[in-house]
C-alpha cells in the first residue's frame, strides 16, 4: 500500500484506522442490514399485495410509484441508523482522541484545527457511504425482482439521507468536542434530536412561526427528499448547520485558548449561522425529481401558471391540527409556492384543533385573491385551487387531457431472498470483515 505523504493524508489514514478499530462503527454496519431488511421486505410485500399478489385486486397498484412505495420506507432505516447509531460513531472518533490524550500530541502540529475536523468528517461521511451499501443492496434486489428504478428520484432520497447524516455527524462532533465526557456528548446529541421532534409536535399544534421552523428540521427535510423534492433553501440551511458544527468542533478541539475566547468565538459563530440560515429562507428554488411529479402540478398547468404575474394571497381559515389544512398545504399550496413567484399564505384559526370552530360561519373557508379580486372555496384539492387562480388571474386553463399521466409500476413479486441477504449474509459478512480488518491492523 502506498503511504500517504502529506500530514493531512497521514491524519485521514489515522482516522480510518481509528474508525475501523471502534466497535461502534461495526455495530452500525452490522445493524443497518437487518434494519434495511425489515423496512424493505415489508415495503416490497405491501407493494406486491397492492399490485395484485395472491389475488388482491389488480389495478390498485396502477398509480404506484417505487419512490413512495419502496424507497421512502426502505431508506427510513437509514434515518433510524443516523439518529441512534451514527452519533456514537462520530463521538467515538472525536472524543477518543481527547480521552486517550492523543489530541495533546496531535494538536502540537501547526495544522489548523478545522483541517483536523475536516479529516474526521471526511472519514465519517465515508463511513456513512459504506453503511449505505445496505440500501444499495435493496436497490439491486428490487431490480432483480423486475422492479422499476428512476435514478434521479432514488439519488434524491440518498442525497437527503447523506445530508441528514452530515447534520448528525456535525452535531455529534461538536457535542463531543465541547463536553468533558463522551456520555455527556451522547446525551446532548440525542436531546437535540428529541428537541426537533418536540418542535415538530409544537408546530403541528401551534402552526405559524413554529410550522416554518419545523420545516427545516432533519425529519421534515428528509420527508421532502423522500418525495423526490430538492429544496435549495433546505440544502443550504443543512450545509450551513454542518459547517457551523464543524467550526464549533474546531473551536472545542483547539488547545491553548482561553475559555472566554472560546465562548466569544462560539457566540459569534452562532450569530453568523443564524444570519446565514435566515438569509437562506429567502431562497425559493426547488427541483422535483419524482417521476410522477408528486410535488408539482401537471406540466400543462405549470405552463398556464407562468402567465400569472401578480401576487397571490391565500387566506385559510383552518386550524393547525385540522387534517384539511395539511391536505391543502401538501396538495396545493406547496406546489403553488414552487410554481408562482409570489404566494402569500395566511392561516387563521381561534383554536389549534378546530374541533369547536366548525359552527363558526367562516371556518373552513379558503380565500384566494389576485389584483384585488377575491374568490372563496372550501375544497382543499389542487384542482379547486387552480380553478380559482385561473379565474382570478383571467388566465385560460389548459385543456382536458393535456400532459402525461403517470401509470405507475405495479410489481406483484414477493421479495424472495431478501431475508437471507439482510438477516443472514449481511451481518455475517460484516462480522467477518470486522474480524479480518482488526486482525490485519495488529
Partner 1 sequence: MFCAQHLTKRYGRLTALSGVSFSVRAGEVLGLIGPNGSGKTTLFECLGGVLPLDEGSFLRNGRPMSERERASTLFYLPDAIVPWPSQTVRWAIDFTLGFFGGRADLKADVIQRLDIGALLDSTIGSLSKGQRKRALLAIGLLMPHAVLMADEPFDGLDLRQSREVGETLRSYASAGRTVFLSIHQIRDAARVCDRFVLLSGGHTRGEGTMAELAALAAARTGSAGGDLEEVFLALT
* Contact status: 10 vs partner 1 (CB under 8 A): yes
Instruction: State how far Cα 380 lies from the chain centre.
Output: 26
Q: Shortest approach of partner 1 to residue 118 CB, angstroms?
A: 15
Which cell numbers in the block locate residue 237? Answer: 440551511
Q: How far apart are CA 148 and CA 67, in angstroms?
A: 10
Stretch that binds partner 1, among 98-106, 126-134, 339-347, 418-426 (CB under 8 A): 98-106
Most distant CA pair in the chain, distance: 77
Q: Shortest approach of partner 1 to residue 380 CB, angstroms?
A: 58
Residue 105 to residues 69, 84, 125, 327, Cα–Cα distance (Å): 51, 31, 25, 57
- For 263, what's the count of Cα atoms within 13 Å in the CB-facing half-sphere? 3
Q: Shortest approach of partner 1 to residue 18 CB, angstroms?
A: 7
Nearer to partner 1, 285 or 438 (CB): 438
Nearer to partner 1, 355 or 437 (CB): 437
Q: Shortest approach of partner 1 to residue 102 CB, angstroms?
A: 4
* Contact status: 232 vs partner 1 (CB under 8 A): no
Q: How far apart are CA 299 and CA 296, in angstroms?
A: 8
Q: How far apart are CA 356 and CA 349, in angstroms?
A: 11
3-class secondary structure, 205:
helix
* Contact status: 362 vs partner 1 (CB under 8 A): no
Stretch that binds partner 1, among 1-9, 134-142, 313-321, 340-348 (CB under 8 A): 1-9
Pairing of strands 286-288, 229-231: antiparallel
Candidate list 58, 129, 257, 428; residue touching partner 1; CB under 8 A: 257
Cα–Cα–Cα angle for 183, 124, 69, rounded to 5 degrees: 100
Q: Shortest approach of partner 1 to residue 270 CB, angstroms?
A: 22
Candidate list 1, 2, 55, 101; residue touching partner 1; CB under 8 A: 101
Total of chain residues touching partner 1, rule CB under 8 A: 29
Candidate list 42, 100, 268, 307; residue touching partner 1; CB under 8 A: 100
Pairing of strands 343-347, 312-316: parallel
Nearer to partner 1, 256 or 361 (CB): 256
Stretch that binds partner 1, among 4-12, 40-48, 182-190, 376-384 (CB under 8 A): 4-12
Beta strands in 243-359 (DSSP E): 286-288, 312-316, 343-347
Name, in order, each residue with C-beta under 8 angstroms of 269's C-beta and a sequence gap of 6 or more.
244, 247, 248, 251
Q: How far apart are CA 393 and CA 204, in angstroms?
A: 32
Q: Shortest approach of partner 1 to residue 21 CB, angstroms?
A: 4
Stretch that binds partner 1, among 128-136, 249-257, 340-348, 414-422 (CB under 8 A): 249-257
Q: Does residue 150 contact residue 227 with C-beta atoms inside 8 Å?
A: no
Stretch that binds partner 1, among 94-102, 342-350, 378-386, 429-437 (CB under 8 A): 94-102
Nearest CA to 37 among 138, 154, 148?
138
* Contact status: 55 vs partner 1 (CB under 8 A): no
Stretch that binds partner 1, among 15-23, 56-64, 151-159, 212-220 (CB under 8 A): 15-23
Stretch that binds partner 1, among 17-25, 190-198, 224-232, 385-393 (CB under 8 A): 17-25
Q: How far apart are CA 134 and CA 142, in angstroms?
A: 13
| Binding positions for partner 1, 106-145, rule CB under 8 A | 106-110
Could you list the residues that contact partner 1 (CB under 8 A)? 3-5, 7, 10-11, 13-14, 17-18, 21-22, 97, 100-102, 104-110, 255-258, 441-442
Amino acid at each position: 500500500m502506498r503511504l500517504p505523504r502529506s500530514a493531512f493524508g497521514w491524519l485521514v489514514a489515522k482516522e480510518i484506522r481509528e474508525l475501523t478499530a471502534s466497535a461502534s462503527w461495526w455495530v452500525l454496519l452490522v445493524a443497518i442490514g437487518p434494519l434495511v431488511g425489515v423496512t424493505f421486505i415489508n415495503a416490497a410485500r405491501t407493494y406486491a399485495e397492492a399490485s395484485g399478489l395472491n389475488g388482491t385486486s389488480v389495478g390498485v397498484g396502477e398509480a404506484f410509484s417505487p419512490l413512495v412505495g419502496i424507497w421512502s420506507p426502505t431508506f427510513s432505516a437509514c434515518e433510524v441508523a443516523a439518529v441512534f447509531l451514527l452519533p456514537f460513531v462520530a463521538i467515538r472518533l472525536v472524543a477518543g482522541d481527547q480521552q486517550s490524550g492523543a489530541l495533546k500530541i496531535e494538536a502540537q502540529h501547526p495544522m489548523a484545527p478545522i483541517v483536523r475536523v475536516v479529516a474526521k468528517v471526511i472519514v465519517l461521511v465515508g463511513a456513512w457511504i459504506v453503511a449505505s451499501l445496505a440500501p444499495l443492496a435493496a436497490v439491486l434486489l428490487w431490480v432483480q425482482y423486475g422492479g422499476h428504478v428512476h435514478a434521479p428520484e432514488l439519488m434524491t432520497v440518498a442525497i437527503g439521507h447523506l445530508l441528514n447524516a452530515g447534520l448528525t455527524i456535525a452535531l455529534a462532533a461538536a457535542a463531543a468536542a465541547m463536553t468533558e465526557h463522551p456520555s455527556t456528548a451522547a446525551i446532548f446529541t440525542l436531546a437535540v434530536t428529541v428537541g426537533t421532534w418536540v418542535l415538530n409536535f409544537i408546530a403541528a399544534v401551534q402552526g405559524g412561526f413554529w410550522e416554518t421552523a419545523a420545516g427545516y428540521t432533519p425529519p421534515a427535510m428528509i420527508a421532502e427528499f423522500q418525495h423526490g423534492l430538492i429544496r435549495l433553501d433546505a440544502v443550504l440551511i443543512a450545509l450551513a448547520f454542518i459547517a457551523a458544527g464543524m467550526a464549533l468542533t474546531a473551536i472545542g478541539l483547539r488547545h491553548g485558548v482561553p475559555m472566554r475566547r472560546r465562548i466569544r468565538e462560539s457566540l459569534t459563530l452562532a450569530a453568523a449561522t443564524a444570519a446565514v440560515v435566515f438569509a437562506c429562507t429567502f431562497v425559493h428554488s426547488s427541483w422535483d425529481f419524482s417521476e410522477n411529479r408528486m410535488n408539482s402540478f401537471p406540466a400543462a398547468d405549470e405552463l398556464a401558471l407562468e402567465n400569472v404575474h401578480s401576487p397571490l394571497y391565500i387566506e385559510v381559515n383552518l386550524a393547525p391540527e385540522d387534517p384539511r389544512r395539511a391536505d391543502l398545504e401538501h396538495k396545493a399550496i406547496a406546489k403553488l409556492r414552487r410554481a408562482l413567484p409570489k404566494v402569500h399564505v395566511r392561516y387563521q384559526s381561534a383554536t389549534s384543533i378546530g374541533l369547536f370552530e366548525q359552527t363558526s360561519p367562516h371556518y373552513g373557508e379558503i380565500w384566494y385573491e389576485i389584483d384585488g379580486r377575491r374568490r372563496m372555496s372550501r375544497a382543499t384539492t389542487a384542482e379547486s385551487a387552480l380553478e380559482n387562480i385561473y379565474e382570478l388571474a383571467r388566465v385560460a386553463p389548459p385543456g382536458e387531457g393535456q400532459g402525461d399521466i403517470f401509470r405507475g409500476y405495479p410489481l406483484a413479486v414477493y421479495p424472495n431472498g431478501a431475508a437471507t441477504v439482510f438477516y443472514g449474509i449481511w451481518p455475517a459478512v460484516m462480522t467477518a470483515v470486522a474480524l479480518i480488518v482488526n486482525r490485519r491492523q495488529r
